[in-house]
Amino acid sequence: MRLLPRDEKFFELFCDHAEVLNRASSLLVSGLKAGYQGMNNICSEMEELERQGDEMIHQIFEKLRATFITPIDPEDIQTLATALDDVLDSIEDVTFRVGAYRLDPIPADAVLLGEMIDGCCRALRQALWSLRDHKPVIEHCIEVNRLENEADQVERSLVRDLFANQTDAIALIKYKEIYELLEATTDRSEDVADILQNVAVKNS
């Protein structure tokens, strides 16, 4: 029996952030599919989503400082908030760099990696909903791990092919970095999934 109530608002804030994250990952895919100009067209919207995400993270930390009893360990709230912010920052960074590097054309494999990021973000949203509703999160976290493994294999194959076939050194550097940034975004997503699994185990 609890003598003091726990503030459950943190779960809602995490779920709200997941919605912003999903809008960003979907926007990334649409931009990649639309090519270089399409990516330029989404930059301002992506920056706004990143700003919204930052504001939500600030709300979480402000609430953490003011809350006596939290639904999960304060350290886990802090770690999860930071990890979610890293995913959104990484998506925004990819968007910026594609435009800054004038990556034209955008290869189909870059779109494929973007779709894997989107899949990771959708699975994280489901996992956060499940955490809020006190349901199992493992299935959604496994999906993130699967997508990260696939993205890693795709990125390695792309880099191998670049060094085998690309004779323009500047183009090689640009494409290599974008592929690595896209794959790194799935790594950041896997970090969130790992945290969620640990939180679920500790609070089961």
> What pLDDT shows up at residue 203?
80
**Is 9-202 in CATH node 1.20.58.220?**
yes
> What's the pLDDT tens digit per position in 81-135?
999 999 999 999 999 999 999 999 999 999 999 999 999 999 999 999 999 888 9
> What pLDDT shows up at residue 202?
86
Report in angstroms the alpha-carbon separations of 173 from 15, 38, 159, 177, 187: 37, 22, 10, 6, 21
Distance (Å, whole) CA 151 – CA 25: 15
Angle formed by the axes of helices 35-66 and 74-100, to 10°?
160
SS3 136: coil
Report in angstroms the alpha-carbon separations of 3 from 6, 133, 189: 10, 22, 36
> What pLDDT shows up at residue 8?
63
For residue 4, with 0-12 CB atoms within 10 Å meaning exposed, 13-18 middle and 19 or more buried, which class applies?
A: exposed
> What pLDDT shows up at residue 3?
35
Percent of the chain with pLDDT over 90: 85
In the predicted model, is pLDDT for residue 4 greater than 50? Answer: no
pLDDT band per the 50, 70, 90 thresholds, residue 26: very high
In the predicted model, is pLDDT for residue 46 greater than 50? Answer: yes
